[in-house]
Amino acid sequence: MRLVEQQSFDVVILDLNLPDMDGLQVCAQIKATASREVPILMLTARDSLEDKGAGFDAGTDDYLVKPFDVEEVAMRCLALARRERLHKGRSIEIGDLSIDTRGQEVSRQGKAITLSLTDFKLLLELARAFPRAVSRNQLQQRVWGDEYPESDVLRTHMYTLRQAVDKPFDSPLVKTVHGVGFRLVDSQGHKGDSSS
């Protein structure tokens, strides 16, 4: 975790059976506190559907069960790194939603949407995580850092974000994942990589 904070990695390969802290805890902490989004590949002998679910709930981006082929590990790492680079491009497209990350411009169905800086940051975090959910703690840490107000300002900003990107349109994009946080859904039903 110290190395992730100090250096820049394309991908982190993480085992679950670690001596001092469980890999699930390490994954969740990296996702919550890292200064930049780091794709994580869990490489483990735990092969049940429940184990995989726990891994994805903790924030892993991919899950590979032992025994594994080294070439497959390499291919998955390349795919994760490529996807992360795409997410950092100038624009992100999710269904009919378009986000210009540098110009901080948002449109849906070709109609410009005006957002406050905080609402834009929240939307960008959700878009970069698409199709995964982002926990409330992760959003708070990434948008406000250590200066998060005591009041539930996240709820207020999620409301104003929804008013802007959901209410004027037929289908909502922002979904509450109960017990987890929030995620974006593709109103047009497309799956897979979301950015261009």
pLDDT score, position 73: 92
64, 3, 56, 55: which is closest to 34 by C-alpha? Answer: 3
Phi, psi (5° rounding) for residue 62? -155, 160
Q: Could you count the other beta carbons within 10 Å of the beta carbon of residue 39?
A: 21
Q: pLDDT tens digit string along 113-149? A: 999 999 999 999 899 888 888 888 888 888 887 776 7
Q: In the chain, what are the domains?
A: 2-87 (3.40.50.2300), 91-184 (1.10.10.10)
pLDDT score, position 14: 93
Averaged confidence pLDDT in the chain? 84
Confidence class for position 19, pLDDT limits 50, 70, 90: confident
8 A C-beta contact, residue 195 and residue 87: yes
Q: pLDDT tens digit string along 70-94? A: 999 999 998 888 776 655 557 788 8
Question: Above pLDDT 90, what percent of the chain?
Answer: 37
8 A C-beta contact, residue 194 and residue 93: yes
- The arithmetic mean of pLDDT across residues 141-162, rounded, is 84
pLDDT score, position 194: 39
CA distance 183 to 174: 6
- Decide: residue 166, CB within 10 A, 0-12 exposed, 13-18 middle, 19+ buried: middle
Confidence class for position 38, pLDDT limits 50, 70, 90: confident
* Range name among 30-39, 55-64, 115-124, 160-169 with the lowest pLDDT average: 30-39
Q: What is the pTM of this model?
A: 0.55
pLDDT score, position 192: 41
- The arithmetic mean of pLDDT across residues 61-77, rounded, is 91
